[in-house]
Amino acid sequence: MKKILSSLSCILLISLSVKAQSNAPYKSVGAWLGAAHYYGDLNTSTSILYPGVAGGFLIKNTITPRWAAKTSLSVAKLGFNEKNSKNAFQQVRNLSFKSILIELSEHVELNFLDYFREGDHPKYSPYIFTGLSFIYFNTNPKYTEKVYLPFTLAIPYGLGVKYKINYFWEMAVEVGVRTTFSDYIDDVSTVYYDENNPFGIAKKQRGDSKKMDKYMFVGVAIMHSWHKTRCPHPY
């Protein structure tokens, strides 16, 4: 009898807890998969014809129906070859690079609608985000001249749409740009340094150091949320 009463109490507690927590802050964990694309001295257009694979893991804290904070760890493959450029000079120069980029980010999201797990809130909401990213890049260029730090900071910003599948699961589609504080993601900047450089003349312009490199993520995320509900101990 005690076990039966305990089980009934647990069911009642969960029911009340679900109702109470529909407007309570909650956490989610998940993963995302998509594509990445680079923009810089080699890819000077808005072309997205040569994307690389990207993905990662995330932890999100939905604080209010309008605000959420997200921490993510992502890995992306970036690259470009000037033989694919429409610029005749770049085709002749024929520089290229490949890079494995690792990003640790902290985002703040602003929902356009009052988005929470349950209650009278909408099941979806568009949102915008920004934050700060720390990135490490392992560039493998066709020809390099200068030693530089393989890590930098970036400002992420973008938009997306999130959707509640059910009480525990949600998904999001997101597009985000990262403006970095480095012009060496592609190993191209400032001037040529080496007298023996086969691609250019020493001290002549190699890249535009006034414009920092950028990259973009496009992806779909699946997240699982949880909450704590303790059942009474049967005596």
> What is the per-residue burial (b if ≥16 Cβ within 10 Å, else e) of 145-176?
beeeeeebebebebebebebeeeeebbbebeb
Better pLDDT: 82 or 143: 82
Q: Is residue 202 part of a domain?
A: yes
CB 94 within 8 A of CB 64: no
Q: Is residue 10 part of a domain?
A: no
Q: How far apart are the C-alpha atoms of 200 and 197, rounded to whole Å?
A: 6
Question: What local confidence, expressed as pLDDT, does residue 1 receive?
Answer: 52
Better pLDDT: 113 or 149: 113
What residue has token string 């602003």?
A: 110
Q: Tens digit of pLDDT for each residue in 43-93? A: 777 777 789 999 999 999 999 989 999 999 999 999 887 777 776 666 666
Q: How far apart are the C-alpha atoms of 29 and 169, rounded to whole Å?
A: 10
Q: Is residue 2 part of a domain?
A: no
Count: domains in the chain: 1
Better pLDDT: 230 or 88: 88
DSSP annotation of 202 reads T
Question: What local confidence, expressed as pLDDT, does residue 20 receive?
Answer: 47
Q: Is residue 235 part of a domain?
A: no
Average pLDDT for 137-141? 72
Average pLDDT for 19-39? 83
| Bridge partners (DSSP) listed for residue 12 | none
- Give the confidence band of 22 by pLDDT, cuts at 50, 70, 90: low
Q: Tens digit of pLDDT for each residue in 98-125? A: 889 999 999 999 999 988 766 666 889 9
Question: What local confidence, expressed as pLDDT, does residue 185 receive?
Answer: 84
Q: Is residue 3 part of a domain?
A: no
Question: What local confidence, expressed as pLDDT, does residue 223 receive?
Answer: 97
Q: Tens digit of pLDDT for each residue in 168-197? A: 999 999 999 999 998 878 777 654 445 555
Range of the domain at 137: 24-226
Q: Is residue 16 part of a domain?
A: no
State the average pLDDT for the chain: 79
Q: 145: domain CATH number?
A: 2.40.160.20
Q: Is residue 14 part of a domain?
A: no
Q: Is residue 62 part of a domain?
A: yes
Closest to 185 measured CA to CA, from 63, 110, 80: 80
Q: How far apart are the C-alpha atoms of 28 and 195, rounded to whole Å?
A: 55
Question: What local confidence, expressed as pLDDT, does residue 146 receive?
Answer: 60
Question: DSSP secondary structure string, 34-46?
Answer: EEEEEESSS--S-
Question: What local confidence, expressed as pLDDT, does residue 90 receive?
Answer: 66
